Amino acid sequence: MTMPDGDGPASFRGVEIMTPGDWQELDLDPATRHKSICRAVRRAVRRSPRLRRDTVPLIAMLDRIAREAADAGALYCTSLVVETTDGGHFVANLLIQVCLETATAPVPLPSADERCAGIVAAAIDDAGWTSAEVSVVALPLVGPGVRICVVDGAVSVQYLVPMPHAAHDIVLTFTCPCPPYATTAIELFDAMASSVVLRYD
């Protein structure tokens, strides 16, 4: 996935992440989004025929996810829909964005470690994050990032990765509205996040 022209640092070209083969990238273009999502759901149904009865609500859900991702200025959005052993379905999503600083960035820029420490401090001070597990982690291919994990009626794991030499962060937001599978979802999300690479010219 690449940066739109004119956004972000001039040398930054995009983000790469490894996704298992059964994840489907969602088309964020309003002109083609619905048809692409219908095709993605049909592929999921071919793999798991018992999903057929949920075709309409799955299409509606993925349409909503893709629309909200586009409205949020996402670089990339991908979803997983698989049948569960009890006849239901497991849904997971990944959204990747670039968070642009609105305030004037200090010069020189703080280090990635300093920026991560600041994000953690702000999250801990925010009353809305009382149920969150917040920590600084080392991502193998990009360095330090902040990991925020919330399990509360759904699963959300967010990674904020400071970009070198720029007052921007890459934000990866993993979600799963399936609390019974929280442990499995979190393990999968952490494994995917560990594959993230930032590409530059």
Q: What is the pLDDT of residue 145?
A: 95
Note if the bond before 180 is cis, omega within 30 degrees. Answer: no
**Bridge-partner residues for 147, per DSSP?**
135, 159
CA dist 119 → 40, 59, 91, 134 (Å)? 36, 36, 29, 9
Q: What is the pLDDT of residue 12?
A: 78
Q: What is the pLDDT of residue 53?
A: 86
CB 95 within 8 A of CB 69: yes
Map out the domains of the chain with their CATH numbers. Answer: 12-200 (3.40.1000.10)
Q: What is the pLDDT of residue 52?
A: 86
Q: What is the pLDDT of residue 88?
A: 74
Q: What angle do CA 40, 42, 47 make, to 5 degrees?
A: 100
**Residues 6 or more apart from 94 whose CB is under 8 A from it?**
17, 19, 23, 76, 77, 78, 79, 172, 173, 174, 189, 192
Give the separation between CA 122 and CA 125, rounded to whole angstroms: 5
The owner of tokens 């083609």 is: 32
Angle, in degrees to the nearest 10, between helices 33-47 and 55-71: 140
Q: What is the pLDDT of residue 84?
A: 78
pLDDT digits (tens, 9 = 90+) for 108-161: 778 889 989 988 888 877 756 667 899 999 999 999 999 999 998 889 999 999
Mean pLDDT by 10 residues, the chain (201 residues): 48 87 87 89 83 87 88 88 78 88 64 90 72 91 94 91 85 88 92 93 75
Q: What is the pLDDT of residue 139?
A: 96
